[in-house]
Amino acid sequence: MAELKITNVRAILTAPVASRLIVVKVETSEPGLYGLGCATFTQRHTAVRSAIEDFLKLFFVGKDPHRIEDLWHTAWVNSYWRNGPVLNNALSGVDMALWDIKGKVAGLPVYQLLGGKCREGAAVYRHADGRDEVHVEENVRAWMEQGYQYIRCQMGGYGGRFAVRDRPENAQPGSYYDPDIYARSVPALFEHLRSKIGYDINLLHDIHERLVPIEAVRLAKQLEPYRLFFLEDPLPPEHIEWFQMIRQQCTTPLAMGELFVHPLEWKPLVTNRLIDFIRCHISAIGGITPAKKLATLCDAFGVRTAWHGPGDVSPVGHAANVHLDVSSRNFGVQEWSGLSDIEREIFPGSPEVRNGYVYPNDKPGLGIDIDETLAAKYPCPEGVPEWTLARAPDGTAMFP
């Protein structure tokens, strides 16, 4: 093989189900050799595309794709201002694609390049929602029957869907919820689930930033008797200092990091042992390169990984998650939203879930490909997702 160079960097946008997905394709001077990465930031998809094709393409074309560490750092600081979600997602897509290329050249799966397997498959958790306690219980049991041992339980989605009455005159449109009713409903939900299902199943819950800090402290303390596997995103990144108070009040395990984009958001939580699971969205922090370093940092402080894995991660991003999962000693659990038939058709080689575990394949690189012709049949819709316009009963804008 002649000296390898990057010849093109492209963003591929597609929305085969609901979320707007962004996949980066890095092409090389070797015919047929390319890499794929996930740059999905579904709320700002066109901004990420511009960052990739108008800026990062100019930076990367002509460079040696093998020099991942140097390329990551020079691209990261090349914008001067850094650590924002648009630029991080753009860089993440290229970074994952470079690891994909390196694996293909080596003839090895990416998990081998990261140190090899610590486990054959990664345990996943699924989402069980419902209109009331009994409905949630039914959905939990349905997942259990399929072999899942980790289940996140919500009632009415994030913050609940309880009726909000008596809005002010001329209240602005949005997704209204009542934080007080929601907070009071959660302990009752887990009291019901534990009394009916018992303690031989790992249950989780996601506050999703929907409470003011002191109410998050109170809820974490109230949930302590129900032995959650973890309580997810109890606070927004802007309020991480409150984790110290939660730790002082209870032993409910805490998971945090879905919205993190800057090392100063996670470093104090990890090094002061204020969380138990790191939940970062790998595309939002810069890709596999920083994620592997973060996992190693967490291992030194007894924090386990639980990478973000919802529907607004592309199958390529899910594949990257799984390669990290099986090669990280301090893996905890992997969020898994499931892949539709059309997503699997567009992305052949997607990770497979069997009996509660997700498995990477043994193909070189990330082991996944994309059918661009089929992906183009599902263009990304425009518009603002309503759930991002969260409002309290009086119309105050809240964290979504």
Q: Phi, psi at residue 225, to the nearest 5°?
A: -65, -20
Q: For residue 370, what are the contacts with CB-CB under 8 A and spacing of at least 6?
A: 12, 23, 25, 36, 316, 346, 347
DSSP 397: B
Active site residues: 158, 208
| Whether the Cβ atoms of residue 318 and residue 309 lie closer than 8 Å to each other | yes
3 state DSSP class of 206: strand
d(CA 71, CA 99): 12
d(CA 370, CA 374): 9
Q: Quickly count: other Cβ atoms within 10 Å of residue 211's Cβ.
A: 24
- Looking at the DSSP bridge assignments, the partners of residue 352 are 359
d(CA 191, CA 196): 9
State the burial class of residue 118 (Cβ atoms within 10 Å of its Cβ: 0-12, 13-18, 19+). middle
Q: Give, for 200, the enclosing helix (H) or strand (E).
A: none
Q: What is the DSSP string of 312-380?
A: TS-HHHHHHHHHHHHH-TTB--EE-----HHHHHHSTT--EEETTEEE---SSBT-----HHHHTTSPP
Q: Quickly count: other Cβ atoms within 10 Å of residue 89's Cβ.
A: 31
Q: Quickly count: other Cβ atoms within 10 Å of residue 197's Cβ.
A: 15
| Whether the Cβ atoms of residue 64 and residue 4 lie closer than 8 Å to each other | yes
